[in-house]
Amino acid sequence: MQTEIGHKNLAPERQKQVLTLVRDHGAIRVDTLCDMLSVSPATIRRDLEILEGTGALRRVHGGAVSGRALLDEPLFDDKTEVASGEKQRIARQALEHIHAGDTVYIDGGSTLLELAALLRDRSNLTVVTNSLRAAAELSAAGPRLILLGGELRRRSQTITGPLTRTLLQTISLDVAFMGTIGLTADSLTTTDPGEAYTKELVMSRSKRVMLLADSQKIGVVSFACSGNLQDVDTFITDKGAPEAFVKQLRKKGVVVETV
């Protein structure tokens, strides 16, 4: 397959060939490289040492392996909490509202992170998000991904505040999937005013607004108001939601789906 390579090569050129060979084979032995490039083991080792210094490959006893080959395994290991069944069900239900070609907003929060994970193989979408966690979930592959710009709020790992306005003003969203800390029949509330500001702005830029929140959040009131229920088109929650509350929301024109 690989043929003998001509005469005197310049060192960097030979090193490039070594790197190519290592990459192509995934892993290769020193002797094999010696045969292919017609140089001594000492030279090959020196080349490998240099290449390892650049991080292009990894030396092992007997030869070298490509850097890429090494990290096939440990890609996603930072799973923190096992999402509750409710959150997963809610996220799966939200999928029903996403259509091919949509521009979708994914808000911060663990429920929304579940949704992001479900979009990993949907390349025919544009996902806009302010959540670093959601972005990380989709950073390797998946839909076209657009991050809001602005200040990082460490606690929630989301991008929030006035600086998010500049970008949001220039785009339009088909559907926004929002989270919240608490909701009452009137309003959505959250801990941080900067975060509330961004949420409100996002909802105003979206054709449809979906609110995803497990039933535990019903009745919780936090510090900063991020909008009111009138602006929500559909509320997806679990079956733990009080009947009375659901009825009240439906009276206001909100579609409520319980899973």
Partner DNA sequence: TCATATATAATCACATTCAATCAAATTACA
Partner DNA sequence: TGTAATTTGATTGAATGTGATTATATATGA
How large is the angle between the packed helices 30-37 and 11-25, nearest 10 degrees? 130
Closer to DNA at the Cβ: 121 or 243? 243
Scan residues 142-201 and list those touching a second copy (CB under 8 A): 144-152, 154, 157, 159, 163-164, 166-167, 169-171
On whether the CB atoms of residues 122 and 133 are closer than 8 A, the answer is: no
Task: Determine, following the binding rule CB under 8 A, whether residue 5 of this chain makes contact with a second copy.
Answer: no
Q: Which residues, including other chains, have CB under 8 Å from residue 62's CB and lie 6 or more apart?
A: 29, 30
Applying CB under 7 A, does 155 fall inside the site for DNA? no
Q: For residue 210, give the amino acid letter.
A: M
- Of 156, 155, 160, 192, which Cα lies nearest the Cα of 147? 160
Question: In terms of DSSP bridges, do strands 57-60 and 63-66 run parallel, antiparallel, or are they unpaired?
Answer: antiparallel
- Nearest approach, Cβ of residue 98 and DNA (Å): 34
The least CB distance from residue 205 to a second copy, in Å, is: 13
Binding mask 49-88 for DNA (x = CB under 7 A): x---------xxxxx-------------------------
Residue 84, binding choice from DNA, a second copy, none, Cβ under 5 to 8 Å by partner class:
a second copy
* Least Cβ distance, residue 253 to a second copy (angstroms): 31
Alpha carbon distance 88, 43 (integer Å): 56
Question: Which residue shows structure tokens 């500049």?
Answer: 166
Q: How many chain residues are in contact with a second copy, going by CB under 8 A?
A: 65
Q: Pattern of binders to DNA over 26-45, x per CB under 7 A?
A: ---xxx------xxxxxx-x
Note the residue count of the chain.
259
Q: How many CA atoms lie within 13 A of 46 on its CB side?
A: 8
Selection from 195, 177, 94, 86 nearest residue 134 by Cα:
177
The interface partner of residue 46, options being DNA, a second copy, none and the CB cut-off 5 to 8 Å by kind, is: DNA
Query: Rule CB under 7 A: which residues touch DNA?
Result: 8, 10-11, 14, 29-31, 38-43, 45-46, 49, 59-63
